[in-house]
Amino acid sequence: MRGLVENVLSHHRWEYTIPGGKLILEDGKPLIMGILNVTPDSFSDGGKFLDAGRAVEHGRKMLEAGADVLDIGGESTRPGAPEVPAEEEWRRIAPVLKELLEIEGCVVSVDTTKSEVAGRALEAGAHIINDISGMTFDPRMREVVARYGVPVILMHIKGTPRTMQKNPHYHLLLEEVTDFLHQRCREAHEQGIDQIIVDPGIGFGKRPEDNLELIRRLGELKALGYPILLGPSRKSFIGHVLDRPVEERLIGTLTSVVYGIMQGAHIVRVHDVEETHQAVKLVRAIREGKALST
């Protein structure tokens, strides 16, 4: 118990190796991950960036607005979403990934559960794999991530995107999420993967009250010993509480982001980068007691 308490209370800094550099994750210095969906059916921005040129331009704008990482997804993971064949997913991602990787200093994560897509993306130079299944949907994913030695984001999900919101139920929510993530981390370690980021999976097989509890208790995930990613952006629990449609959930998103940062989030994954950057900057200024120039 003493070791667990010390792990939660002590300051942590991780220096992960990525192609061409380092990804630094540190308590109190959260990074912003900008969402770039190149899909026709994502819940918030589906269809807006199917054109590769528009997607790349949006990626550039997010970088200019303060994004530290761009997360490209070629398959919608909204509730009820059908699975997309690997070839089609890669067709959507490939031209955007190629262009973004030519931008100096641009760190790119690829959001996929398929080892074939991950392998192609990593061969092209992608820096991070973001797997919403915690590398459980495709048994070859661990092998691919281990081969390239990149950081991986392991997320909790109950079911699949097609089934996850069909009456999800937990006996002990945080314990179940933590146990799932602990098991996924152990499996990754057995494959030689140690550059891990954990994500409680806001909106993935959770009721509104589950999402609120996970954000409220986010700091307890520090016991896993890895950096924490929080992705509340525009999600339905915000609409449930505030009675707002997807396009009017910015305030709810920012509130969730700020609360998550205060609980110890190391990465926040969002659509609205400029506004999030301002919020993160002010949180850091308040916490550190000084104005920040960048």
* Residue 269 β-bridge partners: 33
Domains held by the chain: number? 1
Residue pair 222/265 in contact by the 8 Å Cβ criterion: no
- For residue 257, give every residue at least 6 positions away whose Cβ sits within 8 Å of its Cβ, in sequence order, or none: 230, 232, 265, 268, 270, 276, 279, 280
- The kind and range of the H/E element at 230 are strand 229-230
On the question of pLDDT at 8 being above 60, the answer is no
Angle in degrees, CA 281, 283, 286, rounded to 5: 110
Q: How confident is the model at residue 1 (pLDDT cuts 50, 70, 90)?
A: very low
Among the listed residues 188, 100, 85, 88, the one whose alpha carbon sits nearest the alpha carbon of residue 136: 188
280 within 8 A of 32, measured Cβ to Cβ:
yes
Catalytic: which of 222, 235, 281, 284? 235
Of residues 85 and 160, more confidence is placed in 85
3-state secondary structure 155-184: ECCCCCCCCCCCCCCCCCHHHHHHHHHHHH
Q: Is 162 a catalytic residue?
A: no
Task: Given the residues 269, 281, 284, 287, select the one marked as catalytic.
Answer: 269
- 269 catalytic residue (yes or no): yes
Question: Among 268, 269, 271, 233, which residue's Cα sits nearest to residue 252?
Answer: 233
Is pTM beyond 0.85? Reply is yes
Is 45 domain-assigned?
Answer: yes
> Is residue 42 assigned to a domain?
yes
Q: Residue 218 belongs to what domain range?
A: 2-288
DSSP-assigned letter for residue 118: H
DSSP 8-state class, residue 46: T
- The CA distance from 294 to 285, in Å, is 11
31-61 pLDDT per residue, tens = 999 999 998 855 555 456 778 999 999 999 9
CATH number at residue 253: 3.20.20.20
Residue 294 lies in a domain: no
pLDDT digits (tens, 9 = 90+) for 60-115: 999 999 999 999 999 988 777 788 999 999 999 999 999 999 999 999 999 999 99
Q: What is the pLDDT of residues 108-130, one digit of tens each?
A: 999 999 999 999 999 999 999 99
pLDDT (mean) for 226-244: 98
Residue 293 lies in a domain: no
Say whether pLDDT at 6 is over 60: no
108 in a domain, yes or no?
yes
